[in-house]
Structure 1
Amino acid sequence: MEIKIIMLVLFFASMTVVGVYARKHSSSVDGFVLGGRKAGPWLTAFAYGTSYFSAVVFVGYAGQFGWKYGLSSTWIGIGNALIGSLLAWVILGRRTRVMSQHLKTRTMPEFFEKRYGNKGLKLAASAIVFCFLIPYTASIYNGLSRLFGMAFHIPYTYCVVAMAVFTGVYVILGGYMATAINDLIQGIIMLAGIVAVILAVLKGQGGFLEAVKQLSELSSDIPVTLGQKGAFASFFGPDPVNLAGVVILTSLGTWGLPQMVGKFYAIKDEKSINTGTVISTLFAVIVAGGCYFLGGFGRLFDGSEIRSKTGEVIFDSVIPHMLSSLPDVLIGIVVVLVLSASMSTLASLVLTSSSTLTLDFLKESIWKEMSEKKQVLTMQICIVLFIGISVVFALHPPAFIAQMMGISWGALAGAFLAPFLYGLYWKRVTVQGVWAGFLSGVGFTVGNLFVPVIPSPINAGAFAMILGLVLVPAVSLLTKKPEKSQVDAIFSCYEETVVITKKRSLEP
């Protein structure tokens, strides 16, 4: 217990020190929200990766989908790396940085307003961001608190409150730069921790080959396998169709999440894009791939500890139970690992929500003459507000972690992915097409809760994204073209001439 407490104290102390150090970068709005657009490749890449993966992945998703799909759940991590990281950086990174700077936008709702010339889009987008980041935040509290309960036997409520307080402290102190520096530190912990945990868990099962052998012997009496033997150790697992839905939601979904896309706004230079692409992809392979690979062995740890009184599996307890028998030092590493993942994601969420509420709603509709200093102060107050609401929500969670995250990602990415992606590449997108994307993403996700056309919130979220990708261009083509001169002026940023060295390009 002493070892675990010492590790936690050092972790929280380092976060606070970074928050104090980064205060000099947070005096202006650009500094507080984007770090002055001076984040280098390592900071940007780790900020992206650590915002992507949290306790939701390690505890909720790895536990639930590892149990359902066995080793094939590793495909989710591979999809996260290739689609959610590599392709996201290649397709969105440079264009987002160039256009957001050209339009002088600092948030995604502000991008929608200036890209499409409609203030209503900004207000609607800011409301969607604030409302649907709350269940995602609550799911992170939920996952981390279960692990804390296993390691320290601390009541759930105390875990949630303590985590909220420490996150609020360093974000309020240092803004984006504090979160970016802490993300780098936390990301290194995550990389080392996940490798150590996987090796320890497999060793406890007699090694990798023995664990796979045991997993392959499960199947005949489990309904999902349809009598197929070895399904949980197979290439695509017992249910490849639903597995594909999870891959789409957790991978393509990042393209439309404001807290993820916002990382591209803060990129420093061309080198940061190229290096950041490689770093974030490798980070995702190790962290996401490792989490789901570990979760794939969950069925080897079946027992009363992870089942309810009725015999149903409590998915959020699978990973904590798998780790409960590890040595204290490794449990301490696991706790710090998941704490790192969770607090970095939480910091990104609360910063995104507070900046959106302040810049896109309050300054736009209520307090139009807000000074620079008052904008920063208001964002800090909104951070406290958002954390407070999410804590209340976390203390009364309505569903499993994965379902809560699925609803949040489904609504946000379903609403924003298509309007944002097409807005970077296609001049023909209309305001009506964007509204269609907003309404279809939020409408389908929320409507599906009351009338479950698609029973799984995960698959419903994936469908909402695909629906937006179809509806936005369809409605745009059926409505009046946007003013050519205005659109040409927006896209002119991509045609500006820049001079670079031969080291960066072989072109004459």
Structure 2
Amino acid sequence: MDTQTIVSLLLIFATFGIYIGIAFLTRAKQTSDFYVAGRGVPAVWNGMAIGADWMSAASFIGMAGTLMVLGYDGLAYLMGWTGGYLFLAMLLAPQLRKYGKYTVPEFIGDRYRSTTARVIAAVATIIISFTYSIGQLAGSGVVIGRLFEIDAAIGTMIGVVLIGIYAGMGGMKGITWTQVAQYIILIVAYLIPIIFISLQMTGNPLPWLSYGDVVGKLGEIDQGLGLSEYFMPFEENTKWQFLALMFTLMFGTAGLPHVIVRFFTVATMKAARWSAAWALVFIGLLYLSAPAYAAFSRFILMTQVAGSPINQLPAWTNSWIDTGLMSAADGNGDGILQWSELVIANDMVVMATPEIGNLGIFVIGLMAAGAMAAALSTAGGLMLTLSSSFAHDIYYRVFRPNASEKKRLTVARWSIVIAVVIAGITALNPPGVITQIVAWAFAIAGGTFTPTLILGIWWKRSNTQGAIWGMLAGLGGSLGYIFLSNYAGLSTLGIIDTGAGIFGVTAGVLTNVIVSLATEEPPVDMQEEALDMRYPEQMTYKNGEVWMDDESVG
């Protein structure tokens, strides 16, 4: 085992010790701790936890690689995810916090007063969380596989064990504070390499200001090779796919149950709004850096690797070739590696950057620790959300309403263990790259939940039948298009599987509205509940008036 691997492992094990220690010290002792961290998390720390929960392996590991491969067309990921987060923060998070539930299925079940709606929402949450977690576990496999120069599948199973320990022990309370630590680690790990690469290549330590010059040079290199320029739009996908992907990610973001539940952990609507504001700051640090990673890495690969004699490639390439995420073969037999003969997996670009820039063993190890933090933080939140949907919304609220608190916590913990093992086995042979798998989860969330939540808050006429059939139509529309596109080659206007959400959301909205209008109007008190969510916590809507401090104000 070389020095680099030893240093990387020491850093990763040190961070693992921090996570497990935090989970132990803050372990859940009652139901409210397990599901919503006792509703006592300060806004700034909750914003940091949201940032860690949000910036998954797809963001940390896959985003820059996707931008490097797709160029302009990859910006749909950045715009969709960021725009969707604003959508969630403005139109859903504070209102859902005022309603005061533990989970998204619980909100839907109580808002529409329907056990059927609750169960459908719980099943959809399990599907979304399971799909999303496959990408995170696959990401952990990439990191550990590179460290040990072993198959990524073994690394995936190591991640499974870690998540099962700290998610099952700490619940939401433990995961919240673990995610705060994970955010600090992942953002430091993400920023240090790109700052040093920027300093090396441009003399400017601010990559956000310097990478534009590198993009211009990439355009010149592309012209010389007869390639489409890196920053030209709609070269990899059609305009309709770009828009559909952005739409899918935006509406999917607003419906992600594991992100929404984070806003249930604060004390007030005001704290929920401030959590959203702080989270946007913390998320922006990474998202503004991903394009710089893409540009710098592509430039180095095109100028220092491509064009080199096949037997004189940089030493770092050997390690990545061993992982199966990179291949370099002299296809035309001229002894020189051409750009077209170099195949780079999206998911290795960020992880390889410290080695590409020769930044030293400590930075390489720090990057590995950060990547693991990103993958584990989101996977932990997903597993808890999946567990909550089963243990709270199905087991407790439907089948065992008299179950003791101890029994409910036991079921919740075991459901995490079982779910993470099944997801880990699936991740051994993932059905796509990380960003693709994550896009599927967003499509399902957008089609199933976003129309139901938006209409449930902002349209008092939405009724139980509309919600039930709307969720089924949205879930079926998204899942159906994903399978038909991915496995049967279906393409409508060039829209592929990652843009499936546009069909699911459309089906969900239309079905909810049409069925609600065609069936009986909701009871007056149900409509007043919807109106009440729109007002600040000190105000209550009842009997056709707004009340504050026990006095009518409208």
Is 1:117 the equivalent of 2:113? Answer: yes
For 2:250, what is the secondary structure of its paired residue? helix
Aligned to 2:34, which of 23, 32, 35? 32
Matched, 1:184 2:180: yes
1:315 equivalent in structure 2? 346
Alignment of 1:369-408 (within 5 A): 369-408=402-441
Q: Shift in Å at residue 490 of structure 1? A: 5.3
Residue type of the alignment partner of 2:78: G
Question: Is the alpha carbon distance of 1:474 and 1:215 closer, same or farther for their aligned partners in structure 2, counting shifts above 3 Å?
Answer: farther
The equivalences for 1:100-249 within 5 A come to: 101=100, 105-203=101-199, 205=201, 208=211, 211-220=214-223, 225=228, 231-233=229-231, 241-249=240-248
Write the letter of the residue equivalent to 2:425: V
1:412 to 442, 445, 448: 445
Q: Quote the offset at 1:116 in angstroms.
A: 0.7
Write the distance in 2 (CA, Å) between the matches of 1:290 and 1:74.
Answer: 13
- Unaligned 5+ runs, structure 1: 226-230, 500-506
Aligned to 2:527: 487
Q: 1:478 to 1:158 in 2, by over 3 A?
A: same
Give the TM-score normalised by structure 1. 0.87
More helix per residue: 1
CA drift of 1:353 comes to 0.4
Larger Rg: 2
1 CA distance for matches of 2:292 and 2:245?
15
User: What does the per-residue CA deviation read over 1:452-499, in whole Å, with 9 as the maximum and x for residues that have no partner?
Assistant: 244522111344234434443343233321122332245445558739
1:341 to 371, 374, 379: 374
Aligned partner (choices 412, 419, 430) of residue 463 of structure 2: 430
Aligned residues with identical type, % of pairs: 21
Output one character per residue of 1:322-368: Cα deviation in whole Å (capped at 9) or x when no partner: 44334211111211111111111011001000111011112244333
> Deviation at 1:411?
1.2
Shift of 1:393: 0.6
CA distance in 1 between partners of 2:152 and 2:236 (Å): 34
Residue 266 (structure 1) aligned with residue 265 (structure 2):
yes
What is the match of residue 477 of structure 1? Answer: 517
- Tell me, what secondary structure is at the counterpart of 2:500? helix
TM-score norm. by structure 2 comes to 0.80
Distance 1:362 1:116 in 2: 19
User: One-letter code of the match for 1:89?
Assistant: A
In 1, the alpha carbon distance for the partners of 2:227 and 2:524 equals 54
What one-letter code is carried by the residue in structure 2 that aligns with 1:424?
I
Mean alpha-carbon deviation: is it higher for 345-354 or for 434-443?
434-443
- Structure 2 residue ranges without an equivalent (≥5): 204-210, 307-316, 332-340, 540-552
How far apart in 2 are the matches of 1:497 and 1:343?
Answer: 34
**Residue of structure 2 equivalent to 1:228:** none
Larger mean CA deviation between 400-409 and 455-464 belongs to 455-464
Offset, 1:194: 2.0
CA contact (8 A) 2:92 2:453 kept: no
Offset at 1:219?
3.8
Q: Secondary structure in 2 aligned to 1:285?
A: helix
Asked if 1:324 corresponds to 2:355, the answer is yes
| 1:61-76 correspondence to structure 2 within 5 Å | 61-70=63-72, 73=74, 76=77
The separation in 2 between residues aligned to 1:233 and 1:279, in whole angstroms, is: 31
Given that residues 456 and 530 in structure 2 are in contact (C-alpha distance below 8 angstroms), is that contact kept between their aligned partners in structure 1?
no
- The one-letter code sitting in structure 2 at the alignment partner of 1:106 is Y
**RMSD of aligned Cα (Å):** 2.9
Residue in 1 that maps onto 2:311:
none
Which of structure 1's runs of 4+ aligned residues deviate more than 6 A? Answer: 221-224, 235-238
